A and B are shown apart, each in its own frame.
Chain A
C-alpha cells in the first residue's frame, strides 16, 4: 500500500484547473507566485532547509506523511508549510511552545516588530549574499561510484509488486503503485544516484544505479489504455525491478 501522494492513474479527479482567455485558449502566463504568502511559504521552506538539518528526500517524505485529510484539504503551499512545521519541531529547531506563542502573537496582532529585527543570526543561517551561489550549485544526487549497473539498455524487466522500501513501514519510495508488478524495458542508464528510500529516513545516501524504464500504456492500464502505442517512462533505481525471464 501507499499514501495519498502516490496518485498516478487514480480515478475521480475532474478537469485540469486551467484558466482560458476570451478565445477559449489556455492562459500560459501565471505569475511565479499567485499570493505573497505562497512566495513566503516557499522561501521560508528553502531557507529553513538550508540550515542543513534535513535533506530534500526527508522534506518530501514529511509532506507525504501529512494525515490524509490534511493532504487532501491543503493547497500546495499549505502542504509545504505543514511539513516544514513538523520538521522544525522534530529536528528541535523550534519547540511546540514557541509555535503556540507565535501563533497567538500573530492571531492577536500583538507581534512586536522589534522582536524579529536586528537579530543575531545563527551561524548556520543562509545569507542573502550566498543565495545565487547555492542555487547555482544545487543539490546534485549523482554520485561517482565504481558500482557497475546490473542491467543493460533493452533488458526486459518487471517491477516489484510491493513498496521496495523494506526497512521502513509506509516508507518513502519512488516506485509508484501504478507501476508495481509491471513489465517494462530498460531505456537508459543514468549513473548512480542517492537512493531516496534510505536518504528520506536519514539512513544514508546509498548511491544506487538509476535507470529510465519504458512501459507500454497497455501494460499499465490494460484494455482501458487510450492508445496501445503510447508509452510511459519512469526513473527507477536498480532494486525496484528484476529481469523478466
Chain B
C-alpha cells in the first residue's frame, strides 16, 4: 500500500481498505489472515486453541446461573451483588475480560430489566460467555430501545402494561446482568437445582426462568 492511500489527515479511514483484497468465502478469508499471522510468529495456534476451549467449556451462562442461584438462596449475597456486583461475582471466581465492571439489575413484580448494546455487542463475558447471534443482530440492536415490549413478545414474553421496563444500553465498559425473579414452585429446590433453571436469556432479560414440568 502506498503512503498516499494511508495518509490520514484525520482518523477516519474512509477510503481504500486492505480488507477488500480478501477472498469472498469467509472461511478462506479467516484462513488467509490466520496463516499469515502464524507464518510471522505473531500468533500461536496453541493460544487460539486455549481461547476457544475456554469459552466453549468453562466460560458461559452456566457461570451467571450460579451467581443468580446463590442470590436466590442467600440474601446477604444478593445484597452484596446488587451493591457491588464486580466483587460479589468475583467471590465465585468469575472476573476479567469484558466483565471488569459489573452491574446487576433486579427484576421484581413491578420492574423488568432488559440489556442491549445498540452500538456494538457489549456483553458480560465472564458470566455469560460469548453473545448469541440474535444479541448481535441489527434487529435486536435497533429495536430493543424503541419497542422493548414488541421485542420481548417475540421471545414469548408478554409483559403486563403495569410492569415498567428498564432497558440498559451498554454504551460504556459497564457490563449488565439481569437478576431474574425466582420462579414460584422452586421453594424446595437446592442451589444446584435452581442454577439449572436459570437460562441465558433470563439473565439478559429476554426470558424468565421456568420450572419445566
Contacts and interface: CB of A to CB of B under 8 A. Distances in A.
Given A37-B26, A76-B133, A126-B43, A14 B139 contact: yes
A234 B1 CA distance: 40
Contact of B165 (A116, A122, A221, A227): A227
Interface residues of B, number: 96
B11 interface: yes
Contacts of B211: none
A134 B98 CA distance: 12
Nearest to A133: B96
Interface residues of A, number: 124
Contacts of A46: 51
A81 to B, nearest CB: 6
B160 to A, nearest CB: 10
A138 B101 CA distance: 10
B205 interface: no
A201 B47 contact: no
A232 to B, nearest CB: 5
B30 A41 contact: yes
Contacts of B37: 44, 47-48, 88, 93-94
Contacts, number: 339
Contact of A65 (B12, B98, B168): B12
Interface string A30-44: 111111110111111
Contacts of B97: 134-139
Contacts of A51: 42
Most central of A14, A76, A137 by chain B CB within 10 Å: A76
Most central of A44, A119, A236 by chain B CB within 10 Å: A44
Interface string B170-208: 111110000000000000000000000001110000110
A79 to B, nearest CB: 9
Contacts of B199: 28
Contacts of A186: none
Interface string B142-178: 1101111111001110000100111111111110000
Interface in A76-131: 76-78, 81-86, 88-90, 93-96, 98-103, 105-107, 111, 115-116, 119-122, 124-128, 131
Interface string A46-86: 11100100000000111101110010000111100111111
Interface of A: 5-18, 24-26, 28, 30-37, 39-44, 46-48, 51, 60-63, 65-67, 70, 75-78, 81-86, 88-90, 93-96, 98-103, 105-107, 111, 115-116, 119-122, 124-128, 131-132, 134-142, 168-171, 174-176, 178-179, 190, 193-194, 196, 201-202, 210, 212, 220-221, 224, 226-227, 229-237
Given A65-B14, A81-B22, A119-B38, 16 more contacts: A15-B139, A16-B143, A28-B207, A32-B60, A51-B42, A66-B19, A81-B33, A86-B18, A105-B32, A119-B39, A119-B41, A125-B47, A127-B47, A168-B10, A226-B150, A232-B166
